[in-house]
A = this chain, B = another copy of it.
Amino acid sequence: MKAKIVITPKKAVVDPQGKTVRNALEQMGYQGVAAVHVGKYIEIELAPGTDKGAAQQALNDAAHKFLSNPIIEDYKLEIE
């Protein structure tokens, strides 16, 4: 079982990495870009037999407490 956490800057927050990637794509000659957001991706391999509900709760807690900064970032947790 794998858990995936995607952490992205909130829309209202300045995202200098995203701007840099956007500029780089334009300078490569690719014009079709409206906006770029750069965030973090965390993939967690869970031990076999882990309880999905408990994992969800613990990882939500971790994502909120120290994996993301809830003031400027949003996160999305998926367990599959």
Is B24 a contact of A66 with CB atoms below 8 Å?
Answer: yes
Given contacts A34-B47, A47-B33, A47-B34, contact A42 B28 (CB under 8 A): no
Question: Which residues on B sit within 8 Å (CB–CB) of A67?
Answer: 21
Least distance between A63 CB and chain B CB atoms (Å): 10
Question: Which residues on B sit within 8 Å (CB–CB) of A61?
Answer: 28
Is A40 a contact of B43 with CB atoms below 8 Å?
Answer: no
Is A46 a contact of B32 with CB atoms below 8 Å?
Answer: yes
Question: Which residues on B sit within 8 Å (CB–CB) of A42?
Answer: 21, 36-39
Is A62 a contact of B30 with CB atoms below 8 Å?
Answer: yes
Is B46 a contact of A33 with CB atoms below 8 Å?
Answer: yes
Instruction: Provide 29 A-B residue pairs closer than 8 Å at the C-beta atoms, listed in order of the A residue.
Output: A7-B41, A8-B41, A24-B62, A24-B66, A25-B44, A25-B59, A28-B58, A28-B61, A28-B62, A30-B58, A30-B59, A31-B47, A32-B46, A32-B47, A32-B50, A32-B51, A32-B54, A33-B44, A33-B45, A34-B48, A35-B44, A36-B42, A36-B44, A37-B43, A38-B42, A38-B43, A39-B41, A40-B41, A41-B41
